[in-house]
Amino acid sequence: MIVVHHLNNSRSQRVLWLLEELGLPYEVKRYQRDRKTMLAPPELRAVHPLGKSPVIEDAGQTLAESGAIVEYLAERYGDGRLVPAAGTPERLRYRYWMHFAEGTAQPPLLLKLLFDRLDQGPMPFFVRPVARAIARRAQDTYIQPNIERTLDFMEGELAGRDWFAGPGFSAADVQMSFPLEAAVVRGGLDAKRPRLMGFLGRIHARPAYRRAIERGGEYALLR
């Protein structure tokens, strides 16, 4: 039985979704973020040294990193589903988006989360103006422009296709779901980018996505 170490409101939700798409049985081990720091609890470090989610256990092995997990599950259990055929342009796009999600889309969204917290968090009154000025400068000059450029690029890539790899839904769409959902909450993604919003509408309507939400519990991404 595949075990998913699942942190509330996190990337591990997409692993549950993929398992539902593949129709595989799995066990969920739950972890709750610390209410103040939003970090994972220390118990997760007993599963993997980095103590982050997702982590899965399968066939006597422990595997971390959501992209690696998604690729592994789709290849091992997909039986040709959710992965475009080898050697096709769709397979190359599949690989590209599988890496893009965590490698390019996610970093500026994480920076946005951290700098927003720096801007709004508690601090001695005499450093507040300086800290705020630094945070806002980073937001205006680097973080938000990067988010906008990345969103525009993704919006353009969905011209004429419903899914990131090509005409068919694939595991790369599962991997891409998290940065897009995070972008709605904190990156300014809205109806002005109708193709990305359409993509989110399509994935949220999938029965497997809804089953995974029921199984995983609370899924409200961090602001």
Distance CA 129, CA 9 (A): 32
5 binds ligand GSH (CB under 6 A): no
Considering only 5, 66, 98, 151, the residue that binds ligand GSH (CB under 6 A) is 66
14 binds ligand GSH (CB under 6 A): no
39 binds ligand GSH (CB under 6 A): yes
Considering only 14, 53, 71, 183, the residue that binds ligand GSH (CB under 6 A) is 53
Tokens 């004429």 identify what position? 160
162 binds ligand GSH (CB under 6 A): no
11 binds ligand GSH (CB under 6 A): yes
123 binds ligand GSH (CB under 6 A): no
Considering only 21, 71, 102, 181, the residue that binds ligand GSH (CB under 6 A) is 102
The amino acid occupying position 203 is I
Strand pairing class (26-31; 55-58): unpaired
CA-nearest of 91, 101, 5, 1 to 48 is 5
Sign of the CA dihedral running 218, 219, 220, 223: positive
10 binds ligand GSH (CB under 6 A): yes
- DSSP code of 123? -
User: Based on CB atoms, which residue is closest to ligand GSH, 101 or 203?
Assistant: 101
Indicate the SS3 state at residue 201.
helix
40 binds ligand GSH (CB under 6 A): yes
The amino acid occupying position 44 is L
176 binds ligand GSH (CB under 6 A): no
Distance CA 102, CA 191 (A): 23
The contact set with ligand GSH (CB under 6 A) reads 7, 10-11, 39-40, 52-54, 65-66, 102
